[in-house]
Structure 1
Amino acid sequence: MDLYRSFEALARDQTEGVDYIIIARQASSAIAIIAPHAGGIEPGTGDIADAIAADRYCFGAFKGIKETGNADLHIGSDRFDEPILSSMAGDAHVVVTIHGCCGETEQVYVGGRHEDLKQRFVHALKKAGFHAEESLRPGLKGKSRGNLCNRCRTGRGVQIEISKGLREHMVEGLGRRLIRKKTAVFYRFVHVIQAVLDDEAASFSSKAGMTSSVSRSLCPNPEQAPIIGPDAVSC
């Protein structure tokens, strides 16, 4: 069970810039890639989301930077209400959230309410050699209308859960207090997701981009953010 059930409650106890940072990078796109449990909360997810977004899509991350105890910063996707990233999600036509789940097997679980995009992700990932499937696990389905991925304008987004086992093969030294090296598996995963999203973006009749004036980044390059210790989170 989460320690905090809202960002307001979290912010009363935790200090921005000391315990967590919020990253928001805008782009001329109707797609947003968000990692709401980045940094030491679900290690590697912020790096993956940032690489997918690149300069193509809007990128947001809530990143735990505590020495230990980053799991305390986890707010479930149905209750995640940090204002900046919530606004980014609401302005987008499609939101893809990147999460980390437990498990030593190399697995990707794809959930959310955007059925077509979800199936295209699963198909493309399988074709590229990843073990991917639609998420049927309780808590990982991403079907709730209140889930962050579904709070976009269309009400249909995608939630991608990446097992710890796979993330360890994507990022060498996952969770260590060192600069971490991205592997060929990391870039293969990123390119697969980008290719599917590029097709999705091409299907939009208008690419007016995000309308929000929100533009904030305490750490413009996530690689410059503190690297979190191995006991930050169990998975």
Structure 2
Amino acid sequence: MDKYSNFEALIAEQTEGRDFRVRVALREGAMVASIAPHGGAIEPGTSELAIAIAGNQLSFAVFEGTKATQNRELHITSTNFDEPRCIEVVAGARTAVAIHGENSQEATVFTGGADMMLRSHINNALLDAGFTVREHENPNLQGKSPLNICNRGTNGAGVQLELSRGLRNTFFESLNAAGRARQTQEFHQFVDAVHQGLSRAGLL
């Protein structure tokens, strides 16, 4: 259960620049927004991945927990996530790829979202790169609701990638702030695979 039902409720108690930060880039002509609505220390490693996937071509939006402790309380579920700058970035793109963190230890990418064609392209590219890919058994982690932030681009459908903790552990020296600054070969292989999927879909 989230502590906050939306961003307005969150900012009534939390302070930007101390407890959280928002980083966005809305790039002209970009068809894809790469996003991490639970970045920083909320779901560690997701904002680094979203920004790396965006590179210099795609738009991005990350909401990051920066508290010393208890960052999980900054989690706003994806169907309620309404931080205005992030919404603007997603609304300015055709589709979105949302990066999330899931807590299981098996190294798995759980793919979801309403864009079945783009999901298929990304799934296949990840499989080609040697990643384990499947749909999560929990319907709440499948990203299919039209209210989900990943499905709020102009085509009404996007992709949600839930990355297990076991997988994210392989992407960084560790999942603390210092460790996330040192990324592994697996991190770059994942980013490259997502790019391959976007390219196969004609979006990159």
Q: Across the two proteins, how many residue pairs are aligned to each other? A: 203
Report the equivalent of 2:142.
Answer: 141
Larger radius of gyration: 1
Residue 177 of structure 1: CA displacement?
Answer: 4.3
Identity %: 40
User: 2 CA distance for matches of 1:202 and 1:33?
Assistant: 12
Secondary structure at the aligned position of 1:161 is classed as strand
The reply to whether residue 3 of structure 1 matches residue 8 of structure 2 is no
CA-to-partner distance for each residue in 1:121-166, whole Å, 9 max, x for gaps?
Answer: 1111111110011334221110000000001111110000000000
Report the equivalent of 2:197.
Answer: 196
User: 2 CA distance for matches of 1:197 and 1:76?
Assistant: 25
Report the equivalent of 1:210.
Answer: none
Report the equivalent of 1:63.
Answer: 64
Instruction: Summarize the Cα distance change of 1:2–1:136 in structure 2 as closer, same or farther, 3 Å threshold.
Output: same
User: 2 CA distance for matches of 1:89 and 1:136?
Assistant: 26
Residue 176 of structure 1: CA displacement?
Answer: 4.4
* 2:173–2:183 contact (8 Å) kept in structure 1: yes
Instruction: Summarize the Cα distance change of 1:125–1:178 in structure 2 as closer, same or farther, 3 Å threshold.
Output: closer
* 2:31–2:203 contact (8 Å) kept in structure 1: no
Residue 112 of structure 1: CA displacement?
Answer: 0.5
Residue 23 of structure 1: CA displacement?
Answer: 0.3
Residue 200 of structure 1: CA displacement?
Answer: 2.7
Q: CA RMSD in A?
A: 1.4
Instruction: Summarize the Cα distance change of 1:173–1:114 in structure 2 as closer, same or farther, 3 Å threshold.
Output: same
User: 2 CA distance for matches of 1:153 and 1:26?
Assistant: 14
Higher relative contact order (CA 8 A, sep 6+): 1
The reply to whether residue 23 of structure 1 matches residue 37 of structure 2 is no
Secondary structure at the aligned position of 1:181 is classed as coil
* 1:94–1:154 contact (8 Å) kept in structure 2: yes
1:31 maps to a residue whose letter is V
TM-score (norm 1): 0.83
Instruction: Summarize the Cα distance change of 1:68–1:4 in structure 2 as closer, same or farther, 3 Å threshold.
Output: same
